[in-house]
């Protein structure tokens, strides 16, 4: 089955040019002017539109068991929502419970992901340490297509990695040709500030950002950067939300350190006034970590993307419904942390970034797919429209408009942090693995059609 995307402007990270794109099977087979459609090909008219690599969201949590409950979106509904928004690949997280063998957790997540409608691959979290964990990291890299390990510096008494774990795991990752990533927040400070606030009787969602100020994030970012510097490992910092963390990355990069930063669509668009809202459901719906920040931090994040010190955009898609969030009605520390976004990331970043002139269309591709593909070593299979790459494509209508709402979204959870926002520039068609999976509002996602994408190590591991 062939698909010909005709008459559009192909936008890659390096350039934009008029060309047709022919897909056969799950690959792009030709990109060029005036391509002929093979008999029976599905033809997509991309006149007046951009033809871009399908988005890669390098940070999602589908089907996640967290804080005593499980997210609303599973791998089918979550990846399907992504396809509707032009995102064709997600990098999700295997998060072993402390003491749970890594491989057991990995296979658990692989099982949950079998129903995915779009392609997926996994970072694996290192939540505890032992000789077996050291061993299993090697098995994951060598045999299971994992090349990144995640470390939560927050969530004390749960999945927090202490310095010993960070050092041992970073060192092991280097040995294996894998990249360490961190959720940078000082978990001890968060815990103590939470207790202070509860003692003072400040129990509502407003306390959430108060317990996680920018300095708490910056301390952890600086510590992780220092550890990576001493051990000479690369480092990827997920959901950089504040100026102080960005400054740490900028300084490290200026000094020649290989540090990458990720920004979330939510942190780029939504500010911390949401926590002042009198309605518990609304405020709690925005509880995620790190929290939304003030406008000055948002401005800094955009400058980080423009200046090349932040590299990727993600969502941390992790949906909980109002009933789940209500578990923290009398104690903000019990509100499940997480918000959605996988369906809207591309549109809100285009609208706020490209329409305003902050990003060119090529820069948009860089921060929505190409950089993630390069950093996590799946480029040019992903993140590029070229012959030989996977046929993951979004046809982007720069004149199309949509008003984002939980009422009309495909994602579950009944809540949207971008509620009511009108965006200009939306996907008209999404092609995943060569198949049209979304077309002009109609979702044709197929349960189980998504594939696990192996990500090779960064250096040969055979000799190790």
| Residue 185 · residue 158 · CB < 8 Å | no
Q: Binding segment for Zn ion among 125-133, 163-171, 189-197, 308-316 (CB under 5 A)?
A: 308-316
Instruction: Give the x-and-dash track for 260-299 against Zn ion (CB under 5 A).
Output: ----------------------------------------
Per the listing, tokens 């934009």 go with 16
Per the listing, tokens 């009605």 go with 329
The DSSP string of 435-462 is: EEEEETTEE---TT---B-----SS--T
Q: Binding segment for Zn ion among 7-15, 252-260, 278-286, 316-324 (CB under 5 A)?
A: 316-324
| Residue 97 · residue 136 · CB < 8 Å | no
Q: Binding segment for Zn ion among 150-158, 310-318, 426-434, 444-452 (CB under 5 A)?
A: 310-318
Q: Does 397 bind Zn ion (CB under 5 A)?
A: no
Q: Between residues 9 and 71, which has the closer beta carbon with respect to Zn ion? A: 71
94 phi/psi in degrees, rounded to 5: -85, 120
Q: Binding segment for Zn ion among 13-21, 41-49, 311-319, 388-396 (CB under 5 A)?
A: 311-319
Q: Between residues 66 and 129, which has the closer beta carbon with respect to Zn ion? A: 66
The correct pick among 217, 316, 363, 397 for binding Zn ion (CB under 5 A) is 316
The number of residues that bind Zn ion (CB under 5 A) is 1
Q: Does 390 bind Zn ion (CB under 5 A)?
A: no
State in angstroms the smallest separation of the CB of 26 from Zn ion.
Answer: 29
| Residue 218 · residue 300 · CB < 8 Å | no
State in angstroms the smallest separation of the CB of 340 from Zn ion.
Answer: 12
Q: Between residues 154 and 174, which has the closer beta carbon with respect to Zn ion? A: 154
Ranked by CB distance to Zn ion, the top (closest) residue is 316
The DSSP string of 172-230 is: HHHHHT-EEEEE---HHHHHHHHHHHHHTT--STTHHHHTS-HHHHHHHHHHHHHHHHH
State in angstroms the smallest separation of the CB of 341 from Zn ion.
Answer: 11
The answer for residues whose C-beta is within 8 angstroms of residue 10's C-beta and 6 or more apart is: 16, 17, 18, 19, 21, 31, 50, 51, 52, 385
State in angstroms the smallest separation of the CB of 316 from Zn ion.
Answer: 4
Q: Which of residues 208-247 bind Zn ion (CB under 5 A)?
A: none
The DSSP string of 110-127 is: HHHHTT-SSEEEEEEE--
- Return d(Cα 88, Cα 331) in angstroms, integer: 37
Q: Between residues 316 and 343, which has the closer beta carbon with respect to Zn ion? A: 316
Kindly list the residues in this chain that would bind Zn ion in the complex (CB under 5 A): 316
């Amino acid at each position: 089955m062939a698909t010909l995307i005709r008459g559009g402007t192909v936008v890659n990270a390096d350039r934009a040019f008029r060309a047709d794109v022919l897909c056969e099977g799950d690959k792009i087979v030709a990109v060029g002017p005036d391509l002929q459609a093979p008999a029976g090909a599905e033809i997509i008219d991309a006149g007046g539109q951009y033809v871009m690599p399908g988005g890669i969201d390098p940070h999602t949590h589908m089907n996640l068991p967290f804080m005593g409950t499980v997210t609303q979106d599973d791998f089918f509904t979550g990846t399907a929502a992504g396809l509707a928004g032009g995102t064709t690949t997600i990098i999700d997280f295997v998060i072993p419970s402390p003491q749970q063998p890594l491989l057991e957790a990995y296979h658990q997540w692989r099982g949950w992901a079998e129903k995915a409608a779009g392609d997926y691959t996994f970072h694996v979290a290192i939540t505890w340490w032992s000789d077996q964990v050291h061993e299993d990291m090697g098995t994951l890299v060598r045999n299971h297509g994992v090349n990144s390990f995640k470390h939560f510096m927050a969530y004390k008494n749960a999945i927090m990695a202490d310095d010993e774990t960070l050092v041992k795991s970073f060192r092991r990752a280097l040995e294996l040709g894998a990249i360490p990533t961190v959720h940078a927040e000082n978990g001890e400070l968060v815990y103590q500030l939470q207790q202070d606030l509860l003692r003072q009787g400040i129990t509502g969602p407003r306390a959430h950002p108060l317990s996680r100020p920018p300095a708490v994030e910056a301390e952890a970012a600086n510590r992780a950067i220092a550890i990576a510097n001493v051990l000479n490992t690369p480092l990827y910092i997920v959901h950089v939300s504040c100026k102080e963390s960005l400054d740490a990355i900028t300084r490290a990069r200026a000094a020649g350190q290989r540090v990458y930063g990720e920004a979330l669509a939510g942190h780029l668009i939504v500010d911390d006034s949401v926590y002042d809202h009198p309605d518990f459901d609304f405020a709690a719906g925005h509880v995620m970590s790190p929290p939304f920040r003030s406008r000055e931090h948002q401005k800094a994040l955009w400058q980080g993307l423009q200046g090349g010190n932040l590299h990727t955009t993600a969502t941390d898609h992790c949906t909980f419904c109002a009933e789940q969030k209500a578990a923290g009605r009398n104690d903000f520390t019990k509100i499940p942390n997480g918000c959605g976004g996988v369906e809207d990331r591309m549109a809100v970043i285009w609208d706020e970034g490209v329409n305003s002139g902050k990003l060119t269309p090529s820069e948009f591709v860089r921060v929505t797919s190409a950089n993630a593909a390069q950093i996590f070593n799946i480029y040019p299979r992903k993140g590029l429209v070229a012959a030989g790459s996977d046929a993951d494509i979004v046809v982007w209508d720069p004149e199309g408009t949509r008003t984002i709402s939980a009422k009309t979204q495909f994602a579950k959870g009944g809540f949207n942090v971008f509620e009511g926002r009108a965006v200009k520039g939306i996907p008209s068609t999404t092609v995943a693995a060569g198949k049209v999976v979304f077309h002009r509002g109609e979702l044709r996602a197929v349960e189980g059609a998504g594939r696990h994408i192996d990500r090779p190590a960064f250096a040969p591991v055979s000799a190790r």
